[in-house]
Amino acid sequence: MPIHRSTTKDARAIRPLRAAERGARALVCSLLMPASVAAQGEAAEDSSRRAARRASPADSAAPLAPAPRKPWYERLSIRGYAQFRYNRLLETDPDLTCPQCDRSIGENNGFFLRRARLVISGDVHDRVSIYIQPDYASDAAGAQHYLQIRDAYFDVFLDQTKELRLRVGQSKVPFGWENLQSSSSRLPFDRADPLNSAVPNERDIGVVAYWAPDHIRRRFRILTDSGLKGTGDYGVVGLGVYNGQTANRPEENDNLHTVARVTYPFRLGNGQFIEASLQGYVGRFVVPEGQRTSGVTGPEEFDDRRAAASLVVYPQPFGLQAEWNVGTGPEFDPASNTIREHRLDGGYVQAMYRRPSGKQVLTPYARAQTYAGGKKQETDARSYDVREYEVGVEWLALSALELTAAYMVSDRRYEDAAAPDRHEKGQLLRLQAQFNY
């Protein structure tokens, strides 16, 4: 019993000491807690860094969220070109003119702004693109430099691969390789009479369906981007309808023209490009009263139909270009002072040699053309018999500047009611500076 009482007293004495010990431990833990948390955070950060370093390249290049699509007006591009000419050097016949080619040829002419184009184009939707091209160097009725629409069309893609599309609006009619080639790319100063007389200004209002497989569309792009002066993408197959009175003129009847074209740009094993085309159109053309000289007779409407073949060996470095067409159309008959339906035919052949030198390119060329037939868009559907030769050289001096000089020898018979026996022969030296922007 005494021992028991002594033990109980000792236990009572120890209890306060243990309580004090627990309090001290709690105090120490509270003081060390911030350091412990910080140490744990540093250890976790080091672990994250090591994990990031061990991550695979695929993990580190995880795809980002797609950038928001730009508004349609920010997806448009602007470009253009202008051509400044002088045609009076070494001129032998100032009465020689060519209204369809260049109105500054002949007497009482000087410096001339032949073209000044501004192109606005782009994709306004995944399935819709636009192309608008005004010309602010146009001339008509003796006035110059007024704004006129050349192109205003809209491509509607009918499939996701964009191989099939509808072109709606005023655009080039797919007839003739040279007609489809841009004037900014053409070597001769003007398009040849035989095929250009089929579609003056190359354009009309209508709807055309174009189809080309994706790899051929890329090939068309190569032929323009590489400096080989291709036409651009007018499809392997083109089929359409259009008014038929030519660009910027009102329709005059209830008959639409129909046009079809097939072309294919072959690529040989050595990289040489060769393009072959067949094309044709049919319709009814109206020669309106305002286009006829007083007293000229003949029906109001005429058959207007043509077929043509084209062959282009792209200049790599030597090139060859040839086209021929046949058909029927209105033509003035001076013997009867009447506009009648007549057969027409004609074509041209052109040779060129492309010689790059650094960023500059020198391209000499020679062209011969012949045409016999009417020009439906001119006064009285003038009757023509043309033989013409042109030898020139184009120098791409800068990406923004091309200089061209050409010597032309021309023999032209062109007759209407005012000049029923007009026949001119002459030569002249032509100069042009083209500015690309």
pLDDT greater than 80 at residue 48: no
* C-alpha–C-alpha distance, residues 260 and 316, integer Å: 29
Q: Across all residues in the chain, what is the average pLDDT?
A: 88
* C-alpha–C-alpha distance, residues 279 and 210, integer Å: 14
* 193: CB partners within 8 A, 6+ apart: 100, 101, 346, 369, 371, 375, 384, 386, 388
Residue 93 burial (CB < 10 Å; 0-12/13-18/19+)? Answer: middle
pLDDT greater than 60 at residue 411: yes
- Torsion angles phi and psi, residue 356, rounded to 5: -75, 150
| pLDDT tens, position by position, 73-88 | 899 999 999 999 999 9
* 100: CB partners within 8 A, 6+ apart: 190, 193, 196, 197, 200, 375, 377, 378
CATH tag for 93-436 (out of 2.60.40.740, 2.30.30.230, 2.40.160.10, 3.90.400.10): 2.40.160.10
122: left (phi over 0), alpha (psi -120 to 50) or beta: left
DSSP state of 405: E
* C-alpha–C-alpha distance, residues 416 and 334, integer Å: 7
Extract the tokens encoding 213.
């497989």
Nearest to 389 by CA among 362, 371, 409: 409
Extract the tokens encoding 180.
């489809």
- For 8-45, give the DSSP string: HHHHHHHHHHHHHHHHHHHHHHHHHHHHHHHHHHHHHH
Residue 388 burial (CB < 10 Å; 0-12/13-18/19+)? Answer: buried
- For 170-210, give the DSSP string: EEE-S--HHHHS-TTT-SSSS--HHHHTTSGGGEEEEEEEE
pTM of the full predicted structure? 0.84
| Mean pLDDT, range 189-194, rounded to an integer | 98
Residue 301 burial (CB < 10 Å; 0-12/13-18/19+)? Answer: middle
* C-alpha–C-alpha distance, residues 177 and 230, integer Å: 9
**Residue found under tokens 């569309």:** 217
4 confidence band (pLDDT: 50, 70, 90): very low
DSSP state of 74: G
Distances (CA, A) of 33 to 1, 19, 41, 42, 44: 48, 21, 12, 14, 16
Q: What is the length of the chain?
A: 437
* C-alpha–C-alpha distance, residues 149 and 146, integer Å: 10
Yes or no: say if 242 and 259 are a contact pair by the CB < 8 Å rule.
yes
* C-alpha–C-alpha distance, residues 242 and 121, integer Å: 22
Residue 238 burial (CB < 10 Å; 0-12/13-18/19+)? Answer: buried
| pLDDT tens, position by position, 276-329 | 999 999 999 999 999 999 999 999 999 999 999 999 999 999 999 999 999 999
DSSP state of 4: H
Domain residues of the chain, as ranges? Answer: 93-436
pLDDT at 146: 85
Percentage of residues in the chain having pLDDT higher than 90? 80
141 confidence band (pLDDT: 50, 70, 90): low
* Beta bridge pairs of residue 429: 89, 407
64 confidence band (pLDDT: 50, 70, 90): low
Nearest to 339 by CA among 297, 285, 283, 284: 297
70 confidence band (pLDDT: 50, 70, 90): confident
| Integer-rounded Cα radius of gyration of the chain | 38
Extract the tokens encoding 272.
């040489």
pLDDT greater than 50 at residue 30: no
* C-alpha–C-alpha distance, residues 310 and 350, integer Å: 12
**Residue found under tokens 């354009």:** 203
CA angle 289, 295, 300 (to 5 degrees): 40
